[in-house]
Every structure is written in structure tokens, then in C-alpha cells.
Structure 1
Amino acid sequence: MATSRQIDRRASKPRTRDMRILALGFSRTGTISLKIALEKLGYHPYHGSIAIRSWKDDHWILWEEALRAKFLGDGEPYGREEFDKFLGDYDVLEDVPSILFAEELMEAYPDAKVILTTRSVASWLRSMSNTVLKIFEWKTLPYVASVDRKLFGPLTRSLSIILRHWGNGDPLDGAALQQAYINHYAYVRSVVPSSNLLEFESKQGWEPLCRFLGKDIPNEDYPRTNDSADMVKKFGILYWRALARVSLIPLSGLLVLALAISKGPSVYT
């Protein structure tokens, strides 16, 4: 008998908003700035940061299930019915983990416009090395992931699946990660009509984005935020909050954790 999926325990419900935009650019290409910009234009975007803030609603548990089905063949794949169950209140999807399902999302929401946030592949890899890959060096991360079943457990396993997919099995293979970036962008360009696709860099500001979406240009600067150091710091704060949340553990576990912290790098480095 097939194993019951987490997503199947949720009731189906109609979308409260039509899907209007799929922002399929990789993380670290200005996705947070785009999220803020789209909010100012009246949209309701779902970004990786929203997935993290939705940990109490089991979003990373669902994303891990979807990733395992797609990349590890573990369970039935997600489609529109599954995505609508927990993403139906959003009219924009962007950033990891959504972009790992670019093909499925474009099939599920064929009327959505597509935005590709871009930067040079070399600068993207540098940014990844200074943020996401650096976080995976934290020596206490495996411990926290093993006891935090709502956020850092499924989040860490999900990121591991993603990075191993991009890195052909080695999440630290820079050449493979760069090729994954190139391949993803080439794929999106090959399947989306040019009339429905905007390739966009934050430095271009409001004009091309608003023209593409048919929106008036706001009377303020285009948002720019989330540099590498800021991202690691924010994730570090989240990490220590998670540690405090799951800290009701045996004394022996706390001693092991203290030893690991004393020998490992600070989460703020």
C-alpha cells in the first residue's frame, strides 16, 4: 500500500488569488529585492523567506516531500492540486524551493508571466559560496537538523537535495553548480515565449519591470537589500532561535552541542 503523503492530509481548496507571476531566477540574483518590489506593486509573492516563516504550517515538510518525489523518486510528484493546497493565497512564486519545479509550475499555471532575475554566473557562485554554502559549514547544523523536525530538519534535507542535484552529487562542486545555473536559464528561455518573459537585473530599476507588468512606476527607488553578510546574519539569528526552541534535550546532548560550538565557526562568521 502506498505511503500516505503529508500533502494528502490537507483538504483541497480553491485558490484565493490567480497565479500571475513565476519568478524563476536562482536564489542570490536579487530575489528578495524583487519580492519587495512586487509587494509595492500590489502582488502577494511567495519567496523562500516566506517558506521559512511558514514553518509552523509545515511548509518545509511539504517542500521536502515534493523534492524527494521529484529528484529521489520517493512518492508521487506534486502538481497543481498539491501546490494550490498550501500556495493558493499567493499570486507570485519565486526563489528556492519553488524554482526547482519550474517545469511543473509553468504547466500548472500557463497564464502566468515569467521573470528571470539574472546576474553573471561567476558573481552568483561567489554569492552562493558566501551564504548558502557557508551555512552548511556550521558544525552544529546536523545536530539542530536532527532535533528540529518542523524547520531546520526538513529545510536542511531539502537544501541538501537541491545542492546535490545542482552539483551532480557534490554540493561543493563549483563547476557543476555554475553549469546548473546555465542549464536552468537556458531551459526557461527555450520554453517561454519572449513576449511572456522578462530577464531582469535589480540595477535596471523599476522601468522594465513595470513596463512588463503594465504597472505605473512608483515614486521611490527600486529596493535593494539582502547582501551576503546580511543574509548569513539573519539566518544565524533564525538558527539560534531554532536551537532555543528545541533545547529541551538531555544534558549529555547539551554538552555535545557546547563542545561542537567551541570547536566550530560562529554562525556570524
Structure 2
Amino acid sequence: MRESIKESKRIVIKVGTSTIMYPNGAINLQQMEKLSFVLSDLKNQGKEIILVSSGAIGVGLARMNLTERPVTIPEQQAIASIGQTELMSLYSKFFYHYGHQVGQVLLTKDVTDYPVSRENTVNTFEQLLLKQVVPIVNENDTVSVEELDHLTRFGDNDTLSAIVLELTDADLLVMLSDIDGFYDKNPMKYADARRFDTISEINEDILALAQDSSTKFGTGGMITKLNAAQIVMEAKKQMVLASGYDLSILFNILAGEHVGTLFTTQTH
């Protein structure tokens, strides 16, 4: 099953805020440059790369020298606007250094739900990839809202990255996280925790492991990762969940090595 990953041509890479920000709230410039280097090299190998990057609010807070996230929605959206500009400026600078151009794609749920705007979104991605540009995708936090009759938020970038895979008919989603795969119990708490190499079905037992309320591991975003994996598997594609600590791990994943957890319905 891992051998088939080597053949992946179009790849969606998702990075969380923790991958590009230090715990103290400052921007991890070293990680952002390393990510740009690795993805640029993958492009040099002939891969088509789409990056889904969180971090707009985190970067906005750092840019404005704020230590706490604002409480009100308008304040959060203003910070996201500031942060998204800075985030794209940094990515543009780093990718350009390695010989590649980037393009920003900000999405809201309603855009992908309606056929005409969905088609336009697909066409935009195709044109960017055709022009050898790296699309950098984020939820449009500046305008997205969540109301009873007007839902425009995806809610999380895990789900967004799976939808981007669907929209672009990508072969593989690599989700880089602060944990190196999906475990049967909290690996920070239990020495005998076992990492799943491959998961071929998101069943009740797997969901129960993610919902285990006795550990932070179960409620710290693993559910959204499983939801994303479900979307990917229903599309007959593959997803790898791995650690974003050392970004060169992307080379290992695409070489078919057994790192992280592979979510796939393929049997060979």
C-alpha cells in the first residue's frame, strides 16, 4: 500500500499552527523556510503541490505583539486579516528564494457548496497548478461566519484540506501534526501505546479511541483528523498523518517509508 504513495503526482500538504509557531507565540521562521525548501524540492521532482496552512490568527497576534487571542469575532477576524497578509508575505519570500511562485486561495464553505462557485474554485486551482504555482490555502477567517441559516465556516483546516483534495482530485493528503500518527492510547501517558501503521476503515472502535475523554490526546483535534480521513477515503484517495516536527519527513513519506499512519481503502 505504501508503494502506491510513490506514484502520487498531486499532493495536498496540511500544516497546523503548531508547525509554524513557537509555543511562546512567535513565528518559527526556521520551520517556514524548511517547509518552503522541502515543498520546492518536491516540485522540482515533478510533483504538484498544494499547501493548506493554518496560522493566520497566530501570526497576526505575533505581528501585533498580542499575547492573548481576542474574545470577540470582529477582533479575531481583524487579527486574521493582519496575520494572513504576513503569512503570505513570508511564504512568498521563502518560496521565491527556492525558485517558485505562490498564490493565495482563501475559501469559505458556501463557495465549495454551490456548483457555479465550486466550478470556479476548481478552475482556479487548475490554472495555478498549470502555471507551476503553489496554491496556499486557508479558510477565509476574515469573513467566514457560523450562523443557523448562513454557514460559511469549514470549522477547521483538517476538514478544509480533505475538501481541497476532493476539489483538485489530488492523489494524497499529508497531514502534518504535533503527533506522529494515530495511537491506540495516549503515547505521552502510556509507554505501551501503539501507533497504527495503517487504518482502512473509520469504524466505531477507531472513533472511540479518538473520543476518549480521559486523555487530552483524544480531544485535541484527533476527531477532525478522522473526519478528514473519512472524506479522503470516501474519495478513494489516501491520507498520511505524521509529525510536522521534522519537515524532511515528507521525503520519507513520498518514498513509501512506513512513517505516520496511513489511511487508505486500498488493499495492495
Tell me the TM-score range normalised by the shorter chain: 0.3 to 0.5
Higher fraction of helix: 1
Q: Going by fraction, where is strand more abundant, 1 or 2? A: 2
TM-score between both structures, scaled by the size of structure 1:
0.35
TM-score by length of 2: 0.36
